[in-house]
Amino acid sequence: MTSVHVIKIGGNVIDRADVLQHVLDDVAKIDEPFILVHGGGALATQLNTQLGIPTTMVDGRRITDADTLRTVTMVYAGLINKSIVASLQARACNAVGLCGADANIVRATKRGTAERDYGFVGDVVAVNIEALQALLRQVRCVVIAPITHDGNGQLLNTNADTMAAEIAAAMSAVARVRLTYVFDHPGVMLSMDDPASVIEELHVAHIEELATSGIITKGMLPKIHNAVRAATAGVDVRICGPSDIHTTAGTRIRIDHA
């Protein structure tokens, strides 16, 4: 294949059924092979609450104990992944839904630092481009849940933004890759209250300054770091709203020094 489009849809898109269906209408119309990475949204937290499992977040990342890993595996790789696949099939878009363990597409290693234990959280180690290419010759879309494995039988919870960036970066070795982060804002904005303040081109050289001045919020920063990671590997990265998949709206990441 010559080009691949990697699309990441955020949890806040998945949480709104009408928005999700609209996004799936749009992605089903993509006329090149594509990889759809989805987040989890509020469903996993809801299920954890119903089951009496406490949810702890640190720096926007969920701490994954054994019970939470079960929950996210069920919700992400089961309910959300299969619902999206069935919805794409209904739109005549042949799709296959996987997690990182399937065909060994994304292998990870359990994160551990001296200061903090994130539990069963996985940092991506390897993306199996051959397997993804073979799958994309068979179906139009591979839908990927942000669950990985360590190769020794352990499933791990991996940030969906990171997963999308790592997959896009790896695939850029064999294809022209676009990565589109679809979330609930029209892009990276100078003022959160003003949709017209979207930064059309975000230059890597300006990110630190924008972060220091608080324009790029703490919650937004990991997404942008992931975007930069992919852009640095040669991926064309855009961050946009749920109606912008087939437009050029939103924020493009620029790695040149302007």
E strand map for the chain = 3-9, 34-38, 57-58, 61-62, 95-98, 106-110, 122-127, 141-144, 147-149, 155-157, 176-182, 201-203, 236-240, 251-254
- For residues 43 to 62, the per-residue mask of contacts with its own copies, x marking binding by CB under 8 A and - elsewhere, is ----x--xx-----------
Residue 3 C-beta: closest distance to its own copies, Å:
21
User: How far apart are CB 191 and its own copies at their closest, in Å?
Assistant: 39
Shortest Cβ distance from residue 98 to its own copies (Å)? 7
Distance CA 81, CA 35 (A): 12
Handedness of CA 128, 134, 139, 140 (dihedral sign): positive
Indicate whether 20 belongs to the interface with its own copies (CB under 8 A).
Answer: no
Query: Which amino acid type is present at position 116?
Result: R
Nearest CB to its own copies, comparing residues 97 and 241: 97
Angle in degrees, 0-180, between the axes of helices 129-138 and 160-171, rounded to the nearest 10: 90
3-state secondary structure of 110: strand
Least Å distance, CB 137 to its own copies, is 8
**Closest CB 213 distance from its own copies, rounded Å:** 42
Residue 128 or 226: which CB sits closer to its own copies?
Answer: 128
Q: Out of 55, 83, 232, 243, point to the residue binding its own copies (CB under 8 A).
A: 83
For position 120 contacting its own copies by CB under 8 A, the verdict is no
Residue placing its CB nearer to its own copies in the complex, 67 or 236: 67
User: By C-beta, is 128 or 159 nearer to its own copies?
Assistant: 128
- The answer to the question of residue 74 lying near its own copies (CB under 8 A) is yes
Rg (CA), the chain: 17
C-beta of 20 vs 202, nearer to its own copies: 20
Interface positions, 134-193, toward its own copies (CB under 8 A): 134-135, 138-139, 147, 149, 151-155
Two tokens, residue 236: 């064309």
Candidate list 49, 89, 217, 247; residue touching its own copies; CB under 8 A? 89
222-257 b/e with 16+ CB inside 10 Å = b?
ebbebbbbbbebebbbbbbbbebbeeebbbbbbeee
Q: Give the contacts of 116 (CB within 8 A, at least 6 positions apart).
A: 58
How is residue 23 written in tokens?
């996004």
* Residue 78 found at the interface with its own copies (CB under 8 A): yes
Q: Interface residues with its own copies (CB under 8 A)?
A: 47, 50-51, 70, 73-79, 81-83, 85-87, 89-90, 94-99, 101-104, 131, 134-135, 138-139, 147, 149, 151-155
